[in-house]
Amino acid sequence: MRQSEFLNVVMPFKDKLYRLAKRLLVSTEEAEDATQEILLKLWSKNEKIGSYNNVEAFAMTMTKNFCLDRLKSRQAGNLKLVHSNYGETSTPLQRQVEAKDSASWVQKIMEELPEQQKMVLQLRDVEEYDYDEIAEMLDMKPSTVRVALSRARKTVREKLMKKHSYGIG
């Protein structure tokens, strides 16, 4: 595969790789490094890349595994799983503060979720993959993906409701 073909195949989902890496790794620099590393690994496999059914799913799986390995390594002592927070700048200040507070609570809640639920929630609700793609990426059955997503959403919803109802925090 030539460089131009490779770029046509890989570049459309490059930003998704970065967002997943950013989702898993605290620093922007770590996420950029991880994305660059995955792109290099994909380029090193460019002769085989055509044989994969879904290159995007393969790349997302590589990114997830790379980031998780990075988090487990000794070098990653200062890294932790986090939730990225994207806010609109056109909202009034009070709403921005409320949204930031809610996002902070969602982040804390998501940090407590089991790893599988956390990944399914990220891929479905943030990256907007369908159930079959998530199942392929995480090597799960689609029904298992649905159950994990349902449980993750339920946990987040219940803990947020509890926080807002009782003023905890």
Sign of the dihedral defined by the CA atoms of residues 76, 62, 149, 97, in that order: positive
Alpha helices in the chain (DSSP H): 3-10, 14-24, 28-44, 55-72, 93-112, 115-121, 131-138, 142-166
Residues 124, 99, single domain; the answer is yes
Q: Name the average pLDDT for the chain.
A: 81
Q: What is the CATH number of the domain that holds 60?
A: 1.10.1740.10
* Higher-pLDDT residue of 147, 1: 147
Which of residues 57, 80, 103 is at a domain's end?
80
* Higher-pLDDT residue of 99, 149: 149
Residue 167 is predicted with a pLDDT of 53
Per residue in 29-86, pLDDT (tens digit) is 989 999 999 999 988 888 887 788 888 998 999 999 998 888 887 454 554 544 444 4
What's the structural domain count of the chain? 2
Residue with tokens 């969602």: 106
Which of residues 80, 103, 120 is at a domain's end?
80
Structural domain containing residue 115? 92-169
Identify whether the C-beta of residue 120 lies closer than 8 Å to the C-beta of residue 152.
yes
